[in-house]
Structure 1
């Protein structure tokens, strides 16, 4: 990666990912987490990982995806309250150091984290912001590209290696590198201050959700609704 061609906000990034018990942000619990820092060449400068006992059974369908069973989480995992507090502290420290937080489909991970904080009586992550969501940005700058917009698909499109999808560390690092690749591919983003880019993503995510909702309603689901709130639902 040529750092001279990277956007300033992409020079050093905090990266964040969760693996959880499910997809419903209101009830799902954290199982694994990663918070790290990438340099301008995508190199890993810092990393910290958590294995968490979520306090509930991990559904088999979730275990198949991320590889963590209820038995392993209970045997090896930290208590959820302790882990959630540490994850929030690590992200808050990165933000205090002026690092944007990258999370792919950030509204999922950051909402889960907020719900978990409330569940255990912890102060939520301040802000949160500025946040960089490669999913939202990619949809905005390359709106008509066909195909899936999963992290694996985005990584392939932007030439980023992702060998262990659904591992929190691998996903977090790949998301950061995808964000940096987007900045190189779309140099107009290089002139956007990170706070302004955060604000643009709020609008983009709302517009994308409205478009998707309209499409679903036109295609046989007249009552379908979805939230475009970002970065926390």
Structure 2
């Protein structure tokens, strides 16, 4: 699963990384503990260029009667995207990238759950595969939301959890964003585990379990529970 992540790089770095220009950008500060229900940075393509903006984490399908369904739609399993009514339409035409530079997950030990920070060995920004949708509330206001797609864990992640977020390879990002690409047979093979030898993890403190903690201490290495 994916329930917490970091995006510490600057806004300028994000704009360069995703080739975004010419639009009004939201404010951005380094975030060390991004959590469900919060507004998160996301990249979409409007048919001509990439756009960077904010979506609320927790997908509310366009047809939903109640926005509270979003709390159940934080993640979407890659294996069932094409079958689930909540995700099927978004998979075809409303796909996004969610920039991150690490994510957290909790490893079970004899002493309890140990939070772990997982990164690429290159320490570069990567793109989580996401879906988005826009929901209109009874009062007419619109809420744009997203979900993070997960897949089975690779060999490295399997020691921590049996699921991991889908990290797209850089060369696949433009395909994922392309609205002209709608064939699920072409899209679903992109949603595979990232190469284990290009990732690593280290233990961090249980501070990340509290959403109010959002500072550099969240990413400091801690002693592993044994």
Normalising TM by the smaller chain, what interval? under 0.3
Question: What TM-score do the two structures reach when normalised by structure 2?
Answer: 0.25
Question: What TM-score do the two structures reach when normalised by structure 1?
Answer: 0.24
Please state which structure has a larger fraction of its residues in helix.
1
